[in-house]
Structure 1
């Protein structure tokens, strides 16, 4: 049996199903052997029972081993007779820290929190030293995890980790620098500079010192809006400024329209073709208006009622866990968020219009409380919203607009031109007709806009290809960036324009070239992600492909290095479409079968499981789910 020994915070022992209580002596004995490695019985017994006769101490240790064995259904945790070591079936969270890995769900409290041994000076000295070691491991593991997440493109996860670190150690310049970088990379330049200002004040007030030169140098880069240096422990095959171009080019006219609409108190609706730069304009504008929060539709959300809403509420609650909601709202929301339900509480399904309105009121109540400190709510990729999410949006707009100074965040929406349901476009038209919303349609960049975008990348040789790139891409910013990526990877940026490139007008062929260079394992992982859509995770892929987590992780690193995926998501919807569209039909059906089987075991919603059986050509199995 596999046991998890938690030494960080209050010590505990678990087999994944139940907790085994640990007395102080048992916790210290396990901690000592885990952290020091193999040790003699005599040394451990003398440390735990100082002043006792040797025979008594050895007998006490024998009884302690016996109690641990009985508590663990016969599993021996401390193996050996004269020389003791921890069983190979025990996983220790503190040792994961030593190996620069953040344990899942580990508390950031000190080692063996709450235990003191004032009556045993030798044991107290060992514990002080061990706690100092573990504190150093925490720092090492946090830095390594930040580098891993940033290299993987998981900037949201990295940012959450950096924020927690900076909050815990407000005087730490290392934590502050990580937080500043990550905020900048997510388009939050103003927030990054505020972190520096807060850090500067804290250092002056608490320590009476100025920030280190590297901190000041980073602040200057942020003020100038220039390219940042790469992550300390992560190397990328493509420069960071291609991943997120520093300059928002060719959108001066649209920016002015957005400013006018903002001043008029209107909802901002930005539409355009895929890759035209909707998300970049939205995030840059939201950043310029103050603090903002995102609600984002994803492929697959349409088939699952309230998928976008539920995911967003959970993300917002994770950031603001202190926010309280009324009891009536908690009960209603437990229909969508089971974690809010009291033990034994199970509300019946919504069966009437009054029930639905009450649920909508509860969602709106919780949303407004969670968003109370933000200036802007960004609803991006609304073309993926389910009908239930759209109905909620229509209802919420009726309650929230006009705001009349109610302190609610202003709204910016983004959606693809010509995509989404009739309900979505009906909502947009109704808001526009009522004067509540201003619709801004983004079009491809003109030649000067393309030249400005290329100049902002700061890559030698790119600007001299500006005319050819503008003609080749039609001015679509994504196509421009993908073309430059291709030129960088093939070493053609500094030379003449290549004689042959994939035909202009679509970026799919460029992306396909990137896919063709992947290993079979990485391509298989990308294909599973493309078909699993919203439900994709590395754990799901491991089960579908019947391979270990390490193999999935290696394939994921390759996909992230090729900028096909960022964490568990594709870098862009068009990359998703290119992968999905290139899957051979027999393989597509087989993967849908595996997804149906695994998701059924994982208790995914029946509609999700049925979708995969239908795509696999076995609709009758979907009706049985």
Structure 2
């Protein structure tokens, strides 16, 4: 037997075969294997009594034998050694054991082990409760070590993220609150540290009737006179405010829709806070899968579907897709074509199209367990093919599982940027009673006051009216105005007026202007790439050494222009892109197109870069190829439009023969 067998019980109990295929385990069998993994060699009599306490000894032993035989049949080999006491093979790994040994795991919520609970085995349940608590302690210790390692490396951002995860595990943890306060003080954000202290003080008083320990109170007092905020350093709280404000009624309506099992559409202009609201609401329900639309993909059929499929598979690495699903996905996902010889044949009729859709549906079904919600953010960036596939998913809810098994959907979009066809789809979904559309409106003046107080802005109440007038209550504009105040050190009505007289684009440009030239170049290259941003790609586009770009990226993150390998907000990305001089924009798009060709990007994406670069001949060739790819997936309307655009590009490049070729292809495909 190989060494690749694995048993996973932290989620849905599964047996992972050496080839990666996952098979569900019976509840009692999973519990038996987990017990052997944790406790080691165990006499048969002990196991029989533990798992079948209500049966006579002979019957219980026979049940044990039958359970092991079913396991042998499922695995095709013996995973339990029966030479003397029963022992789990040393070649089998169990995720719970790894957690007990202090190995890092991706889960951040409570360790529930619900898939192991047995109704009629009280002694085993007592053991399970104790083991669950032991696992929690082990994971907390592993989290502490990871935090200490991040601090030793000087990575405050990583340490902050790890501390927040630890607080989700243990909201009363003194260590987590003390460390979080220290991190904020190290970051120069005394206001955030004081907020953590006050929340912890209130929590202890409410839950335990106690006051914070002297060590934490001394921490606040010791830093009182020396932690003056650096006016240039923007507090991390401005990047993600500690709490939502002004969304109580919206939250109530979301709760009603959730209880009714309806899809939730959050609709609002850019910067109103749809994403934060969706994420916080979903987090209040449990684990959520986050899928994000990306600028620049609207004209590439199934671009959004491909991105979502990759995100789903990355979030569920244990899932092994059936061969027929892989064959269908290979039509749009090149990674599934490798080693398969020729490309998959094109879709020829509606039955082919249905098979293609059902393969995506099966992939969604297999990757959904463990998530209570799916957030689909910024669907106004989705291509029409992905939108239609999404409607198919929503119409096939029963195929994904029963009530409580299918993740609920929270979908966000900007109403003025959604296509007419997509609007019709949403309207039909809402009119059918299966979904609710909730508008996310700008904040009221009182809400602005609450937000400024939460961000510890000096004279918050006095500034609220001026900032509301200058931003219209748009949450993102408010945060940009507060960043501007921190940068200038001016917290006054005049500063709010200065912001109003400028624009968000001008404010962002002022922030960029304070950075190094290479950081500005990196931001511009990232804005041009739009949906394919990575530090490595930016390095290739700029033809600069990777270490230099990495240093520039740190500058951009500190200035809250970038958040990881994406912009801190779409509005920031749009502002950077629109501010590019024409010549610089064309040069960067040309470099991006060449780089993406080498990386095998979709033809439609490459074509858009050539169009922006002003190279009509190259754009025409790639538009034509994009049309062929669309036709191969029965997206005939998109194919016709791409051929038409290719013809225009050929004509603009004075390539009459090419224009005639795609025009003729359009006629043939339509008849």
TM-score range normalised by the length of the shorter chain? 0.5 to 0.7
**C-alpha contact 1:286 1:376 (8 A) present in aligned 2:** yes
Match of 2:421 in 1: 423
**Pair 1:269-2:265 in alignment:** yes
Match of 2:323 in 1: 327
Question: Which SS does the other structure have where 2:271 is aligned?
Answer: coil
**Pair 1:520-2:517 in alignment:** yes
**Pair 1:555-2:529 in alignment:** no
**C-alpha contact 1:474 1:505 (8 A) present in aligned 2:** no
Question: Which SS does the other structure have where 1:583 is aligned?
Answer: coil
Match of 1:214 in 2: 175
TM-superposed CA distance for 1:616, in Å, is 1.7
TM-superposed CA distance for 1:590, in Å, is 2.0
TM-superposed CA distance for 1:418, in Å, is 0.7
Of 345, 349, 372, which residue of structure 1 is paired with 2:369? 372
**Pair 1:446-2:473 in alignment:** no
Which runs of at least 4 in structure 1 moved beyond 6 Å after TM superposition?
166-170, 181-189, 225-229
Question: Which SS does the other structure have where 2:555 is aligned?
Answer: helix
Q: Could you tell me how far apart the structure 2 residues matched to 1:219 and 1:616 are?
A: 47
Match of 1:172 in 2: 142
Match of 1:602 in 2: 599
Q: Could you tell me how far apart the structure 2 residues matched to 1:587 and 1:167 are?
A: 54
1:545-574 CA distance string (max 9 Å, x none): 221112211221221111111222111111
Question: Which SS does the other structure have where 1:268 is aligned?
Answer: strand
1:421-570 to 2 correspondences below 5 Å: 421-493=419-491, 497-498=494-495, 501-503=498-500, 506-570=503-567
Q: Could you tell me how far apart the structure 2 residues matched to 1:575 and 1:279 are?
A: 15
1:337-392 CA distance string (max 9 Å, x none): 34445733542233322212111111111112211111111111111111111010
Q: Could you tell me how far apart the structure 2 residues matched to 1:442 and 1:376 are?
A: 19
Match of 1:196 in 2: 170
> In the superposition, relative to structure 1, how do residues 237 and 350 fare at CA in structure 2: closer, same or farther (>3 Å)?
farther
TM-superposed CA distance for 1:622, in Å, is 2.3
Question: Which SS does the other structure have where 2:332 is aligned?
Answer: coil
Q: Could you tell me how far apart the structure 2 residues matched to 1:254 and 1:389 are?
A: 28
Q: Could you tell me how far apart the structure 2 residues matched to 1:575 and 1:391 are?
A: 30
**Pair 1:224-2:199 in alignment:** yes
**TM-score, reference length from structure 1:** 0.64
TM-superposed CA distance for 1:249, in Å, is 0.4
**C-alpha contact 1:462 1:484 (8 A) present in aligned 2:** no
Of 403, 406, 415, which residue of structure 2 is paired with 1:405? 403
Q: Could you tell me how far apart the structure 1 residues matched to 2:163 and 2:396 are?
A: 29
1:376-426 CA distance string (max 9 Å, x none): 111111111111110100111111179761610111110012112122211
Q: Could you tell me how far apart the structure 1 residues matched to 2:616 and 2:392 are?
A: 35
Question: Which SS does the other structure have where 2:450 is aligned?
Answer: helix
**C-alpha contact 1:268 1:438 (8 A) present in aligned 2:** yes
1:10-159 to 2 correspondences below 5 Å: none
Match of 2:256 in 1: 260
Of 227, 245, 250, which residue of structure 2 is paired with 1:249? 245
Question: Which SS does the other structure have where 1:412 is aligned?
Answer: strand
TM-superposed CA distance for 1:543, in Å, is 2.1
Of 586, 589, 595, which residue of structure 2 is paired with 1:589? 586
TM-superposed CA distance for 1:594, in Å, is 1.9
**C-alpha contact 1:225 1:246 (8 A) present in aligned 2:** no
**C-alpha contact 1:184 1:222 (8 A) present in aligned 2:** no
1:142-179 CA distance string (max 9 Å, x none): 9xxxxxxxxxxxxxxxxxxxxxxx99976424247589
Question: Which SS does the other structure have where 1:303 is aligned?
Answer: coil
Question: Which SS does the other structure have where 1:440 is aligned?
Answer: strand
Q: Could you tell me how far apart the structure 2 residues matched to 1:424 and 1:275 are?
A: 21
Q: Could you tell me how far apart the structure 1 residues matched to 2:497 and 2:289 are?
A: 43
> In the superposition, relative to structure 1, how do residues 352 and 218 fare at CA in structure 2: closer, same or farther (>3 Å)?
farther
Structure 1 unaligned spans of 5+: 1-138, 143-165, 201-210, 230-234
Q: Could you tell me how far apart the structure 1 residues matched to 2:548 and 2:366 are?
A: 42
Q: Could you tell me how far apart the structure 1 residues matched to 2:595 and 2:519 are?
A: 20
Question: Which SS does the other structure have where 2:499 is aligned?
Answer: coil
Q: Could you tell me how far apart the structure 1 residues matched to 2:436 and 2:582 are?
A: 43
> In the superposition, relative to structure 1, how do residues 554 and 219 fare at CA in structure 2: closer, same or farther (>3 Å)?
closer
Q: Could you tell me how far apart the structure 1 residues matched to 2:201 and 2:466 are?
A: 26
Q: Could you tell me how far apart the structure 1 residues matched to 2:418 and 2:593 are?
A: 25
TM-superposed CA distance for 1:444, in Å, is 0.7
**TM-score, reference length from structure 2:** 0.60
**Pair 1:571-2:594 in alignment:** no
**C-alpha contact 1:590 1:616 (8 A) present in aligned 2:** yes
Of 348, 355, 378, which residue of structure 1 is paired with 2:352? 355
Match of 2:287 in 1: 291
> In the superposition, relative to structure 1, how do residues 250 and 504 fare at CA in structure 2: closer, same or farther (>3 Å)?
farther
Structure 2 unaligned spans of 5+: 1-101, 105-135, 151-155, 182-195, 203-215, 220-229, 623-671
TM-superposed CA distance for 1:277, in Å, is 0.8
After alignment, is 318-327 or 274-283 more displaced? 318-327
Q: CA RMSD in A?
A: 3.6
Q: Could you tell me how far apart the structure 2 residues matched to 1:504 and 1:251 are?
A: 28
**C-alpha contact 2:268 2:415 (8 A) present in aligned 1:** yes
1:447-488 CA distance string (max 9 Å, x none): 101111111113443343122111221111111111111111
Question: Which SS does the other structure have where 2:395 is aligned?
Answer: helix
After alignment, is 354-363 or 267-276 more displaced? 354-363
> In the superposition, relative to structure 1, how do residues 188 and 261 fare at CA in structure 2: closer, same or farther (>3 Å)?
farther
TM-superposed CA distance for 1:194, in Å, is 4.8
> In the superposition, relative to structure 1, how do residues 218 and 365 fare at CA in structure 2: closer, same or farther (>3 Å)?
farther
**C-alpha contact 1:187 1:287 (8 A) present in aligned 2:** no
**C-alpha contact 1:473 1:504 (8 A) present in aligned 2:** no
Question: Which SS does the other structure have where 2:317 is aligned?
Answer: coil
**C-alpha contact 1:177 1:215 (8 A) present in aligned 2:** no
Q: Could you tell me how far apart the structure 1 residues matched to 2:375 and 2:242 are?
A: 21
**C-alpha contact 1:473 1:505 (8 A) present in aligned 2:** no
